[in-house]
Structure 1
Amino acid sequence: MAEQQPQENARQFIVQRIYTKDVSFECPNAPEIFRQEWQPAHEVTLNTRVNKLGEETYEVVLAVTVTTKIGDKVATLVEVQQGGIFAASGFSKEELGPLLGAYCPNILFPFAREVVSDLVIKGSFPQLVLQPVNFDALYAQHQQQAADANESAQPH
């Protein structure tokens, strides 16, 4: 029987840790905001950043900001930074971008969504469930914008 040799270029992806890095909840117009009819408008902003921790280890941070307004008054402002430490080996540079820029935020989003919901409820507001996000499409859009910006910066 032939012994199986470990493949040198085998891809490996490991979630090492998921954690809440930073949390902020503000209700700047309390208690007056509780007297108004609850017809909220929500604005959600997402941002990600990647920090290289080691040769094959990365921290990915998904920042979620949700601003809820009643008319022109801010009811709540919730900011959550959900972090994760991921090990990724055997991936090409072209594969690593979508892995860290789309796949990892997709893993982190349910955790961030839960923190947002819990904070809003603890502020005595109705539950807020953030809708699913297509991080693949957001990553592709970001890459296209970066390519367009690069192209327009080139001398013609």
Structure 2
Amino acid sequence: MSEASAENKQFAIQKIYVKDLSFETPNSPAVFTEEWKPEVNLNLNSESRPVADNVYEVVMKLTVTAKQGEKTAYLAEVQQAGIFTIAGFAEDEVKPMLGAFCPNTLYPFAREAVADLVQRGGFPPLLLAPINFDALYAQQVNEVQAQVANPDNAQH
């Protein structure tokens, strides 16, 4: 196949939506009586799957856990999703789009959902820091390549 020309390349956002949403405050109301000095942990990942020719669903999963000492103050989980048309690109161009560009598009929506959940849960506002998805994707690719190149070290 010849290299795709710029005129034939198409990227479009068809839909952005919340796929799943959860918020728990297992130690309320006692957690509200303590001085607020939480340890906040963010777990983030994304996955993609084709839904039709040149159409993909990308789902970003964010889990934010805030702990006061050993007690969980809150647990917020958001699955922010999008349906994207990606046509006319070479396969080696599509993977970074699904692994970095689409998550970068979804992240502001996920950040807003988390901030809203936390505030509605009665806690001080939480603004998640920006994330460089291009760097995360590159790191993930490098890790996979390292495991393929040296499978003996991958299990340690």
Provide TM-score, normalisation by structure 2: 0.91
Aligned amino acid, residue 69 of structure 2: G
Which position in structure 2 is the counterpart of 1:51? 49
Among 123, 128, 131, the residue aligned to 1:125: 123
Name which of 90, 95, 98 aligns with 1:97.
Answer: 95
Are 1:113 and 2:77 an aligned pair?
Answer: no
Select 2:27's aligned residue among 26, 29, 41: 29
Identity of aligned residues (%): 49
Q: 2:77 & 2:148 partners in 1: Cα distance?
A: 31
Cα distance in 2 for partners of 1:25, 1:35 equals 19
Q: CA deviation at 1:137?
A: 0.6
Rounded Cα–Cα distance in structure 2 between residues aligned with 1:69 and 1:18 = 30
Q: Which of 1 and 2 has greater Rg?
A: 1
Q: Distance in 2 between matches of 1:21 and 1:8?
A: 33
2:40 is matched with which residue?
42
Quote the offset at 1:149 in angstroms.
Answer: 1.3
Report the more deviating stretch, 108-117 or 7-16. 7-16
Unaligned runs of 5+ in 2: none
Are residues 1:73 and 2:79 paired? no
CA deviations over 1:22-54 (Å, ceiling 9, x no partner): 001010111111111001111001100001111
CA shift, 1:9, in A, is 6.2
Paired with 2:6 and 2:109, the residues of 1 have a C-alpha distance of 34
* Alignment match, 2:11: 13
How many residues were matched structurally? 148
Amino acid at match of 1:144: N
Superimposed CA distance per residue, residues 93-140 of structure 1 (whole angstroms, 9 cap, x where no aligned partner):
111111110000000000000110110011100010000000001100
SS at match of 2:97: helix
Aligned partners of 1:62 and 1:9: how far apart in 2?
Answer: 30
In the TM superposition, residue 72 of structure 1 has moved relative to its aligned partner by: 1.4
Shift of 1:148: 1.2
